Chains A and B, each alone.
Chain A
Amino acid sequence: MNRNLFAPVLILFLYVAVSGQPLSGQQDAGHANSHSTSGGPETGAMAPDFSLKVIDGRGKSMRLSSLQGKVVLLNFWATWCEPCKIEMPWLAELQTKYGPQGLQIVGVAMDDASEKDISRFARKMGVNYPVLQGTESVADVYGGLEGLPVSFVLDRSGVVSDRIVGLVSESVIEDAIKKSLTGNDNTKAAK
């Protein structure tokens, strides 16, 4: 390679390697009203399975794959996250509204608070769906979850049909749920 070109090419290569960003500046598309997220399952990919302790579950755990057949909204949140507090009552409403059609919302608490504190907080927010105690390993496979809230909508076979990063309006969340519930997803809906 021409010595004059070697340095610029190497610098460009290193920029992409270090920043993780393409040179065009384009970011992951994701939902129209959501921020981009780095890493984690893309839409159309199978959601990574996990088993996590259920808050107030008397020691029981829940495995994500056990929910196949339902549309799942996996909502990562934390007690210190103000935007998360805003959407939790919305999620409770949506669980009530769409639960009979096969929606199961699952909260995953991503903070160091005690189980008792998480439970108390969730009750205060009117949560009517299971809340799991998150772990770093689960965070890693879901893209690091650097910013919260983050939600993944999974179709009835566990494939990610939408991901929502940051606080968006309730209607955006509802639309994502309805899209999966009506079978406008990647799989045949289980009845």
Chain B
Amino acid sequence: MKIISIVSTLVILLFAGAAQAEDRVTVDPISPVTVRKGSSAPVQITLHVQPGFHINSSKPLTPELIPTHIGFTPPEDLVIAKVQYPAGVLMSFPFDPATKLSVYSGEVSVKAVVIPAPQGGTGTYTVHGEVKYQACDNNSCYPPKRMPIAFDVKVTSASSKGTTARPTRTSPHIHN
């Protein structure tokens, strides 16, 4: 029984390792957001571009390049606004030292604001979204990827500190 348990754990780790090896970009778990009706609250999405890779910024310098983009599909009772991407870093790469590209590498923090809709209720909601990016290294570029994200938002009433939580409502998942 003990052996089965050890082997099962290792199998899971091996599969996770294999999947991780293909992830040129990962995203941190997104902290839950609490927001009162009538106000707004920040949310931060943190991406990690693996060493040796870069991704295009949200505003690449040529139209053919695919920008990094985070799309949200919030429930009707929420609005995700003011999505702010960091400025890209202008870098040249060995494949074309004469040309600078606007890219992200390392840690990338994207900020946005969660606003409860005026007609919406209180309770806990789940916001789904996806990160779209396209990664390259110094010799090759890899096809655009979409990575699902999700975070919880607790909406409380404007007047009280506490709230009676309604059943969790979720935004539709994105299918592409």
Using a CB–CB cutoff of 8 Å, the interface residues on chain A facing chain B are: 3, 6-7, 10-11, 14-15, 18-19, 35, 78-86, 110-111, 113, 117, 121, 146-149, 165-168
Contact = CB atoms under 8 A, between A and B. Distances in A.
A80 B95 contact: no
A2 to B, nearest CB: 12
B10 interface: yes
Interface centre among A86, A110, A111, A147 (most CB of B within 10 A): A147
Interface centre among B6, B10, B66, B139 (most CB of A within 10 A): B139
Nearest to B21: A19
Interface stretch (B11-19, B42-50, B68-76, B161-169): B11-19
Contact of A147 (B10, B101, B142): B142
A167 B65 contact: no
The 3 closest A-B pairs by CB, nearest first: A166-B139, A147-B140, A81-B141
B136 interface: yes
Interface residues of B, number: 27
A22 to B, nearest CB: 15
Contacts of A111: 143
A18 B140 contact: no
Interface centre among B21, B99, B136 (most CB of A within 10 A): B136
B139 A146 contact: no
A111 B140 CA distance: 15
Interface centre among B3, B64, B136 (most CB of A within 10 A): B64
Interface in B112-154: 134, 136-137, 139-144
